[in-house]
């Protein structure tokens, strides 16, 4: 069954709503972003969800020591690397990690084989931010490569109306959504519930 990660959670109540609706993971953004949270707020959010819901911290070009420190302080299960972290940088990490890649062309997919991450998250390369731009990429590009579905997370522009097609075309182990479950840039418990229901229907 396809899992669901609700990313960019900023409020413990929204984290609780996601967990209650059946989310498998939540994402806490520590990188500069309109969804960025402090360590204190992240701890509150993390403690609001059951242990079976994975807590993922989203970072951009953060020092390894800082990654470990925040992971321990907040109780993260994974760190998600959304910056220019090299394969060598990642090989020296002592903690579980997800490497995010922005996909615009087939050439971008060649970076996949360079990393030995617990999961690879493929996101849209379109937009000003590193992730969270609310746009999809060309899913048909994935037909050109061999990717282990059990290690593949799909992100970028997903919402209730397109997520079933996305799963059918790409077969990810998890789908990652942020703006697609928001109203006026704030997480919407109703949209979170509807999104998760649509994913689980397809699965």
Instruction: Look at residue 79 and tell me whether its pLDDT is greater than 70.
Output: yes
**pLDDT tens-digit series, residues 136-155:** 999 999 987 888 889 999 99
Res. 203: pLDDT tops 90? no
Q: Check pLDDT > 60 for residue 132.
A: no
Q: Are strands 182-183 and 186-187 parallel, antiparallel or unpaired?
A: antiparallel
What was the pLDDT predicted at 133? 58
Given a cut of 70, whether residue 36 has pLDDT beyond it is yes
Residue 69's φ and ψ, nearest 5 degrees, are -60, -45
Helix (H) or strand (E) holding 157: none
The enclosing H or E element of 154 equals: strand 152-154
- The pLDDT of 32-61, averaged and rounded, is 96
Q: What is the C-alpha separation between 184 and 5, in angstroms, rounded?
A: 20
Q: Which CATH class is domain 3-202?
A: alpha beta
Please give the pLDDT value at position 202: 62
| pLDDT above 90: residue 16 | yes
Q: What is the mean pLDDT of residues 186-196?
A: 98
What CA–CA distance (Å, rounded) separates 98 from 82?
9
Please determine, for residue 128, whether its predicted confidence score (pLDDT) is greater than 60. no
Active site amino acids: 7, 123
pLDDT score of 144? 78
Q: What is the 3-state secondary structure (H, E, C) of 37-102?
A: CCHHHHHHHHHCCCCCCEEEEEECCCCHHHHHHHHHHHCCCEEEECCCCCHHHHHCCCCCEEEEEE
Q: How confident is the model at residue 131 (pLDDT cuts 50, 70, 90)?
A: low
Domain positions in the chain are 3-202
Structure confidence at residue 201 (pLDDT) = 86
Measure the CA–CA gap between 43 and 57, rounded to whole angstroms.
11
Cα–Cα distance, 18 to 2 (Å, whole number):
15
pLDDT for 35 equals 95
Longest dimension (CA), the chain: 43
Percent of the chain scoring above 70 in pLDDT: 95
């Amino acid at each position: 069954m396809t899992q669901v990660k609700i990313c960019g959670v900023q409020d413990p109540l929204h984290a609780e709503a996601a967990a209650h609706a059946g989310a498998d993971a939540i994402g806490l953004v520590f990188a500069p972003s309109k969804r960025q949270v402090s360590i204190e707020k992240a701890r509150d959010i993390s403690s609001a969800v059951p242990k079976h819901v994975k807590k993922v911290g989203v970072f951009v070009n953060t020092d390894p020591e800082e990654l470990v420190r925040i992971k321990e302080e907040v109780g993260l299960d994974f760190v998600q690397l959304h910056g220019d972290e090299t394969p060598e940088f990642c090989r020296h990490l002592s903690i579980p990690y997800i490497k995010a890649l922005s996909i615009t062309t087939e050439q971008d997919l060649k970076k996949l084989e360079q990393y030995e991450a617990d999961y690879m998250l493929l996101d849209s390369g379109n937009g000003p931010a590193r992730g969270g731009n609310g746009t999809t990429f060309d899913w048909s590009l994935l037909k050109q490569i061999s990717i282990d579905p059990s290690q593949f997370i799909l992100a970028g522009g997903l919402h209730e109306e397109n997520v079933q097609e996305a799963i059918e075309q790409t077969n990810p182990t998890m789908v990652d959504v942020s703006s697609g479950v928001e109203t006026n840039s704030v997480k919407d418990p109703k949209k979170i519930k509807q999104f998760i229901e649509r994913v689980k229907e397809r699965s």
